Amino acid sequence: MKSIDICDPIENLRGVNSKITKQLEHLGIETVRDLLLYFPRRYDDFSVTTKIKDITIGEKYTISGTVLSIENNRAFRSRMAITSAQISDGDRTIKAIWYNQPFLIRNIHKDQKINISGKVGYQQKSLIMQNPAYEVLNLNSETTHTGRLVPIYKETRGLTSRWLRSLVKNALTCSDQIEDILPEDIKKKRSLISTQSSVKQIHFPKNRKEQQEAKRRISFDELFLIQLVILNSKKQLESVGAPKIIPDIKLTKTILSSLPFKLTDAQKKALWQVLKDMEKGVPMNRLVEGDVGSGKTLVALLSAASTAKSGWQTAFMAPTEILASQHFTETIKVLTDANLNIALLTASESTAYEPELKEIYSPKKNDLIKMINNGKIDIVLGTHSLIQDKVKFKKLGLVILDEQHRFGVKQRATLLKDQDFTPHLLSMTATPIPRTLAMTAYGDLDISLIDQMPKNRKKVITKTASGKERKKEYDFIEKEVKKGRQVFVICPKIENKNQDDVELTERQLKSLKIKAVKEEYEKLSEKIFPHLKVAMLHGKMKPKEKDQIMKDFKDKKYDILVSTSVIEVGVDVQNATIMMIEGADRFGLSQLHQFRGRVGRGEHQSYCFLFSDSESENSRIRLKIMETCSDGFKLAEYDLKMRGPGDFLGKNQSGIPDVAMEALINPFLISEAQEEAKKIIEKDPTLKKHPKILKRISKMTEEIHFE
């Protein structure tokens, strides 16, 4: 047989036909290397075999024995094929039953030694295992599917973990060809195993220790490379020029004295950090992180005011049209004494504010673009329509991104290109990113925390309830609506019972979500509140439709808005006082907190109802926390502990393997990787002496920029 090469296409492996090739492609596996780097998401611990006399019914075991008999039957009614085998461990017997797999009779024979792993039950006076994992034992080789830590992979339709296991095992014969990028001295100093061993051990660890070692090595590489990319991009940024913005203290004071409130200390500090950054002549790259309603926009606007007075333009980008236009209104209000030209440019709007006459007018879109391009407009608010080709800012000094995690890195890059100077970048997010995570995932950003709320904010009263108590809350809603208030209803309602179930595609998930919203909408509008005005919002609608509904809701044309999680971002509906969330246990606490932030923005007392039918103690406790805690950062830390970093990064987008995800929050490993990355860059700034590392980080940088 021809030996396999790690670069070979996957179809060169034995047993892989064109159909399977397609399925593997779904999992992103095209070459043998891809397969080897397709790591298990978890393990079933079948490492200990148990004697039948020692088992407890209802628990999982691996039993090793001899096949006494095996036969196929058909179920009386359903005609389903049932394969049953009697297995003896020399002392007692157990029955194994498989459904719909009549072919098993060809793989498993009488008198063979076999392992079966699974949950033990009791039926018709016999111990049984239904659909156990099984493995016919070959005394000369170690087991793959039973009697060990068994790797479980993310599956796709038609490709099971069992199948992937065999395939990976086959491919592992060339694991020695995988490159190890780390210099020996680092490995030695940090007690890291080789890449080759880590790949073998991550798939088929002999024990927990081997699995941990492998995970540590793989995670270290990931963190190390991320740190290198960060150091590199920081260095690059420092080498280009940026506009020097002189803080206009006098103007800042004038603006502040016109407001009906005082800045919080946290806002002052953040503003100060931004102004200091922009003075330097090196591009700022700063993230302002602050809870919903903490007043981030104001910090951004004051930064824009100084930028304008230094003769530079600001582009302020929001993720939706409605947010952009909300910001436009706010900007005019706040900067009314600053004597600046302000404009709004979105797909459907082109509006400008003339400061001398204090007048809002609507130029033609092309005319507005001309005014931006010739530098007349000081501050432009908009959506990503600001990055279209025609818009070429004359002197772009500051880019502000609201809810920045909504923007792709690519869009960000587009905004920053084509300038003699690189503009300063200020991003804002209400999703608190726990510190450890920020060090890695957002490591190239400086962070300002606004960890303080303006005084006199009313706390949103939060209550968790089981579905049965809905009636009471519906009555309450009725009363509030009569008082003239409005209500948000959020529903996910996606059953995702078993992590190992075949994964749904994005499209399938979306359609399920929409089904849930539609059902809820019909229920509320037809049965519960037929006399109220109910609207629906979901992700499949066109942005224009969505914006229209949000606008109408804001204008009180509806009483209740039923929605998927698309309303998450900072839209301000002052009159909405109730946020009702169905299936609340399926959201992260941070996300629930975001939803909750949609209400309590006006003068009225607001409420948040969290419905959950989950019986798990864990979800109950998680939701209870929402009742007492209104600190987004605490909730985020809690989420991170309970659910891992996927919630913050978007598991699918981040491109970081599951096994390394956890490491992103391991402060010790992070600082080890950080130290080593710094040392390498100090000694070898261009990485000339480390070509393997250079190759990997160039590839990472490319992927980041072209995602």
**Interface positions with Mg ion (CB under 5 A):** 570
Least distance CB 404 / ligand ADP (angstroms): 12
264 binds, among Mg ion, ligand ADP, none (CB under 5 to 8 A by kind): ligand ADP
Binding site for ligand ADP (CB under 6 A): 261, 263-264, 267, 290, 292-298, 430, 454, 570
Q: Produce one character per residue of 537-561: b if its CB has 16 or more CB atoms within 10 Å, e if not.
A: bbeebeeeebbebbeebbeeebbbb
Pairing of strands 607-611, 576-581: parallel
464 binds, among ligand ADP, Mg ion, none (CB under 5 to 8 A by kind): none
Distance CA 426, CA 399 (A): 6
Q: Tell how far CA 543 is from the center of its chain.
A: 22
Q: Which bin fits 461, alpha (ψ -120 to 50), beta or left (φ > 0)?
A: beta
As beta bridge partners, residue 610 has 464, 581
Is the Cβ of residue 117 or residue 429 nearer to ligand ADP in the bound state?
429
Least distance CB 591 / ligand ADP (angstroms): 15
Least distance CB 487 / ligand ADP (angstroms): 21
As beta bridge partners, residue 465 has 611
Long-range pairs for 123-131: beta carbons < 8 A, 24 or more residues apart: 126/94, 126/95, 127/52, 127/55, 127/57, 127/92, 127/93, 127/94, 127/95, 128/94, 128/95, 128/96, 128/97, 129/63, 129/94, 129/95, 129/96, 129/97, 130/97, 130/98, 130/99, 131/97, 131/98, 131/99
Is the Cβ of residue 295 or residue 443 nearer to Mg ion in the bound state?
295
> What residue number has its CB nearest to Mg ion?
570
Least distance CB 572 / Mg ion (angstroms): 8
290 binds, among ligand ADP, Mg ion, none (CB under 5 to 8 A by kind): ligand ADP
313 binds, among Mg ion, ligand ADP, none (CB under 5 to 8 A by kind): none
Is the Cβ of residue 503 or residue 631 nearer to Mg ion in the bound state?
631
Distance CA 295, CA 572 (A): 13
Is the Cβ of residue 432 or residue 570 nearer to Mg ion in the bound state?
570
Q: Tell how far CA 91 is from the center of its chain.
A: 51
Least distance CB 349 / ligand ADP (angstroms): 20
Is the Cβ of residue 290 or residue 588 nearer to ligand ADP in the bound state?
290
Long-range pairs for 230-236: beta carbons < 8 A, 24 or more residues apart: 230/443, 230/444, 231/677, 231/678, 231/681, 232/681, 232/697, 232/701, 233/444, 233/701, 234/444, 235/681, 235/685
202 binds, among Mg ion, ligand ADP, none (CB under 5 to 8 A by kind): none
295 binds, among ligand ADP, Mg ion, none (CB under 5 to 8 A by kind): ligand ADP
Secondary structure percentages of the chain, helix, strand, coil, to 5: 45, 20, 35
Is the Cβ of residue 443 or residue 570 nearer to ligand ADP in the bound state?
570
As beta bridge partners, residue 674 has none
Q: What's the N-to-C CA distance of the chain in angstroms?
A: 39
Is the Cβ of residue 449 or residue 581 nearer to ligand ADP in the bound state?
449
Least distance CB 459 / ligand ADP (angstroms): 15
Is the Cβ of residue 374 or residue 574 nearer to ligand ADP in the bound state?
574
Question: Do you know the residue count of the chain?
Answer: 707
Is the Cβ of residue 381 or residue 623 nearer to ligand ADP in the bound state?
381
Is the Cβ of residue 122 or residue 261 nearer to ligand ADP in the bound state?
261
Least distance CB 19 / Mg ion (angstroms): 49
Is the Cβ of residue 115 or residue 331 nearer to Mg ion in the bound state?
331
Least distance CB 451 / ligand ADP (angstroms): 12
Distance CA 379, CA 325 (A): 13
Q: Which two tokens stand for residue 17?
A: 């036909």
Q: What are phi and psi of 564, to 5 degrees?
A: -80, -170
Q: Which bin fits 131, alpha (ψ -120 to 50), beta or left (φ > 0)?
A: left
Least distance CB 265 / ligand ADP (angstroms): 10
36 binds, among ligand ADP, Mg ion, none (CB under 5 to 8 A by kind): none
Distance CA 457, CA 474 (A): 26
Least distance CB 455 / ligand ADP (angstroms): 7
Least distance CB 295 / Mg ion (angstroms): 9
Q: List, as one string, the DSSP characters of 491-548.
A: --------TTSPPPPHHHHHHHHHHHHHHHHHIIIIII-TTS-EEEE-TTS-HHHHHH
385 binds, among ligand ADP, Mg ion, none (CB under 5 to 8 A by kind): none
